[in-house]
Amino acid sequence: MSDDAPTSQAPETQPAPVSLAGNSPAPGSQAEELAAFVGKEVVLDTRGELLYVGRLEHVGEWFLTLADADVHDLSDSRTRKDVYLIEAARFGIKKNRHQVMVRSREVVSLSTLAQVIVY
Protein backbone atom coordinates (compact mmCIF):
# COMPACT_ATOMS: atom_id res chain seq x y z
CA MET A 1 0.00 0.00 0.00
CA SER A 2 1.50 3.34 -0.99
CA ASP A 3 1.22 6.70 0.75
CA ASP A 4 -0.77 8.01 -2.22
CA ALA A 5 -3.66 5.59 -1.62
CA PRO A 6 -6.86 7.32 -0.55
CA THR A 7 -7.81 6.76 3.04
CA SER A 8 -11.35 5.95 3.96
CA GLN A 9 -12.85 8.18 6.58
CA ALA A 10 -16.17 7.74 8.28
CA PRO A 11 -18.60 10.30 6.87
CA GLU A 12 -19.74 12.99 9.24
CA THR A 13 -23.24 12.32 10.45
CA GLN A 14 -25.72 15.15 10.38
CA PRO A 15 -29.32 15.18 11.50
CA ALA A 16 -31.55 13.78 8.83
CA PRO A 17 -34.06 16.37 7.69
CA VAL A 18 -37.75 15.66 7.97
CA SER A 19 -40.04 16.25 5.05
CA LEU A 20 -43.27 14.97 3.65
CA ALA A 21 -41.15 12.34 1.88
CA GLY A 22 -40.93 10.48 5.21
CA ASN A 23 -37.22 10.48 6.09
CA SER A 24 -36.52 9.43 9.67
CA PRO A 25 -34.91 12.19 11.74
CA ALA A 26 -31.88 11.68 13.96
CA PRO A 27 -32.78 11.21 17.64
CA GLY A 28 -32.68 14.48 19.60
CA SER A 29 -32.43 16.65 16.48
CA GLN A 30 -34.55 19.67 15.61
CA ALA A 31 -36.08 17.55 12.86
CA GLU A 32 -37.16 14.92 15.38
CA GLU A 33 -38.59 17.51 17.76
CA LEU A 34 -40.68 19.12 15.01
CA ALA A 35 -41.65 15.95 13.09
CA ALA A 36 -45.21 16.05 14.46
CA PHE A 37 -45.71 19.49 12.86
CA VAL A 38 -44.71 18.46 9.31
CA GLY A 39 -47.68 18.63 6.95
CA LYS A 40 -49.67 20.90 9.28
CA GLU A 41 -50.48 24.59 9.05
CA VAL A 42 -48.19 26.37 11.49
CA VAL A 43 -47.39 29.82 12.82
CA LEU A 44 -43.72 30.83 13.06
CA ASP A 45 -43.16 33.83 15.29
CA THR A 46 -39.75 35.42 14.72
CA ARG A 47 -37.37 37.72 16.56
CA GLY A 48 -38.28 40.58 14.26
CA GLU A 49 -41.41 41.98 12.65
CA LEU A 50 -42.05 39.02 10.34
CA LEU A 51 -44.70 36.44 11.07
CA TYR A 52 -44.97 33.31 8.92
CA VAL A 53 -48.11 31.21 8.53
CA GLY A 54 -48.16 28.18 6.24
CA ARG A 55 -47.89 24.41 5.90
CA LEU A 56 -44.64 23.08 7.35
CA GLU A 57 -43.13 21.11 4.51
CA HIS A 58 -39.56 20.43 5.62
CA VAL A 59 -37.40 20.71 8.74
CA GLY A 60 -33.72 20.96 7.94
CA GLU A 61 -30.66 21.64 10.02
CA TRP A 62 -30.67 25.38 9.25
CA PHE A 63 -34.07 26.17 7.73
CA LEU A 64 -37.77 25.44 8.11
CA THR A 65 -39.64 25.31 4.81
CA LEU A 66 -43.25 26.42 4.55
CA ALA A 67 -45.53 25.87 1.57
CA ASP A 68 -48.63 27.89 0.66
CA ALA A 69 -47.48 30.52 3.12
CA ASP A 70 -48.15 34.08 4.15
CA VAL A 71 -45.14 36.18 5.07
CA HIS A 72 -46.68 38.97 7.12
CA ASP A 73 -44.67 42.07 8.00
CA LEU A 74 -46.14 43.44 11.22
CA SER A 75 -44.38 46.79 10.74
CA ASP A 76 -46.44 47.35 7.55
CA SER A 77 -49.75 46.41 9.13
CA ARG A 78 -52.20 48.14 11.41
CA THR A 79 -53.53 44.77 12.52
CA ARG A 80 -52.21 43.39 15.80
CA LYS A 81 -50.57 39.99 15.71
CA ASP A 82 -53.29 38.26 17.73
CA VAL A 83 -56.08 39.68 15.54
CA TYR A 84 -54.21 38.70 12.37
CA LEU A 85 -53.75 35.11 13.62
CA ILE A 86 -57.40 34.82 14.66
CA GLU A 87 -58.41 35.89 11.15
CA ALA A 88 -56.01 33.35 9.63
CA ALA A 89 -57.44 30.61 11.86
CA ARG A 90 -61.01 31.62 11.07
CA PHE A 91 -60.79 32.38 7.34
CA GLY A 92 -57.63 30.60 6.19
CA ILE A 93 -54.12 31.64 5.23
CA LYS A 94 -53.79 34.58 2.82
CA LYS A 95 -51.09 32.94 0.72
CA ASN A 96 -48.47 35.20 -0.83
CA ARG A 97 -45.72 32.58 -1.28
CA HIS A 98 -45.76 29.11 -2.85
CA GLN A 99 -42.77 28.27 -0.70
CA VAL A 100 -40.56 30.11 1.79
CA MET A 101 -37.52 29.02 3.78
CA VAL A 102 -37.15 30.50 7.26
CA ARG A 103 -33.84 30.45 9.10
CA SER A 104 -34.43 28.32 12.22
CA ARG A 105 -32.46 30.57 14.55
CA GLU A 106 -34.84 33.47 13.81
CA VAL A 107 -37.88 31.52 15.04
CA VAL A 108 -38.81 32.12 18.68
CA SER A 109 -42.00 30.05 18.72
CA LEU A 110 -43.88 27.57 16.60
CA SER A 111 -47.45 26.36 16.99
CA THR A 112 -50.11 24.91 14.76
CA LEU A 113 -52.66 27.33 13.38
CA ALA A 114 -55.31 25.09 14.93
CA GLN A 115 -53.92 26.01 18.37
CA VAL A 116 -54.78 29.69 17.87
CA ILE A 117 -57.69 30.49 20.17
CA VAL A 118 -60.45 32.24 18.27
CA TYR A 119 -62.38 34.65 20.47
Domains of the chain: 18-113 (2.30.30.100)
User: What is the model's pLDDT at position 108?
Assistant: 96
The SS3 assignment for 85 reads helix
Q: What pLDDT, on a 0 to 100 scale, did the predictor assign at position 23?
A: 60
Confidence check: pLDDT of 14 > 50: no
For the chain, what percent of residues have pLDDT higher than 70? 79
- 26 HSE (CA, 13 A, CB side): 9
Burial class (CB in 10 A: 0-12, 13-18, 19+), 66: buried
Q: What confidence tier does 26 reach under pLDDT thresholds 50, 70, 90? A: confident
pTM value > 0.85? no
SS3 content of the chain, % helix, strand, coil (to 5): 25, 35, 40
Task: Look at residue 22 in the predicted model and tell me its pLDDT.
Answer: 54
